[in-house]
Amino acid sequence: MQTRAIPSNGLPFRKMHGAGNDFVILDSRGMTPVCTPEIARKIGDRHRGVGFDQLAEIRDGEDADIVIDFWNSDGSRAGACGNATRCIAWMVMSETGRDAISIRTTRGMLAGRMIGDEVWVNMGPPQLTWQEVPLAGDVDLLHLPLDGDPVAVGMGNPHAVFFVEDAEAVDVAGRGAPVERDPLFPEATNVEFAQVRGRNEIRMRVWERGTGITLACGSGACATAVAAHQRGLTDAKVRMEVDGGWLTLDWREDGVWMTGPVAHVFDAVLTADWLGA
Ligand SMILES: N[C@@H](CCC[C@H](N)C(=O)O)C(=O)O
């Protein structure tokens, strides 16, 4: 993708989080995008930069109100980011006074709505074939051939969901990092550890591809709700406690709807000097 140069007066950004999953948002509406893997890594450094779980860059859409591109802090691209999608939907709806918008991501066309203080996003239907996730071969997605018997679900990005007795007791990094890079996942994977508390409640902790442990992962929450329902453990609608708060997931015919809180943390400008422009 063609990118524009960093402006000499710096690069404005917004910091937001959704249930503790934190984002830097670059607004390139009306402009050529600016983000590259190097810029994502530089801003994503929590010691020398700003730090984020994902960077999201907004562009104008031809067939949607906005287009969003997602980046992980290691400079890789993320195919989906549910919590950043909710944050940006809130931002655009607050600007325009509208209570519904359309959003295009590499995941496809998504819809966002305001429900009181919370934002509701349709993350689209889950991907339930090995080619879509993607996996390295034709295996049983409901019982992957890995220790711990995980379920594979695609939400525009790959997820491996492990059901555990006690999510608090899981060594998320110790177990998540090796699964992220397992050869079964040719594009690597996000890894969720889910404890089913009842037909309508799950406790979930996550290891994100390209980022590591985060306080929440929206697409991971969707994938976990789908995996639990497919295994017959929960109803189609569940509340989910993640490390940073609560999300509600509702798997309907037209997709997985996710509701949860968003927070606008601050707006600031990255200096051109620091960015090396
Ligand atoms: N935090 C996100 C998901 C992030 C994407 C992931 N790290 C990937 O590479 O797929 C969310 O809220 O969905």
189-239 confidence digits (pLDDT tens):
999 999 999 999 999 999 999 999 999 999 999 999 999 999 999 999 999
State which CATH number among 3.10.310.10, 3.30.2350.10, 3.30.565.10, 3.30.70.3270 fits the domain covering 151-253. 3.10.310.10
Q: What is the CATH number of domain 11-123+262-275?
A: 3.10.310.10
Ligand 1 atom closest to 84 (CA): 12
Could you tell me if the CB of 192 is within 6 A of ligand 1? no
The tens digit of pLDDT for each residue in 30-77 reads 999 999 999 999 999 999 999 999 999 999 988 999 999 999 999 999
Atom number in ligand 1 closest to CA 156: 10
Q: Whose CA is nearest to atom 11 of ligand 1?
A: 81
Asked whether 78 lines ligand 1 (CB < 6 A), one says yes
Binding residues for substrate: 21, 54, 72, 82-83, 157, 190, 208-209, 218-219
Per-residue pLDDT tens digits for 100-134: 999 999 999 999 999 888 999 999 999 999 999 99
Identical fold between 11-123+262-275 and 151-253: yes
Residue 219, ligand 1, Cβ within 6 A: yes
159 lines ligand 1 (CB under 6 A): no
Strand partners, 202: 196, 240
Q: Which atom of ligand 1 is nearest to the CA of 53?
A: 1
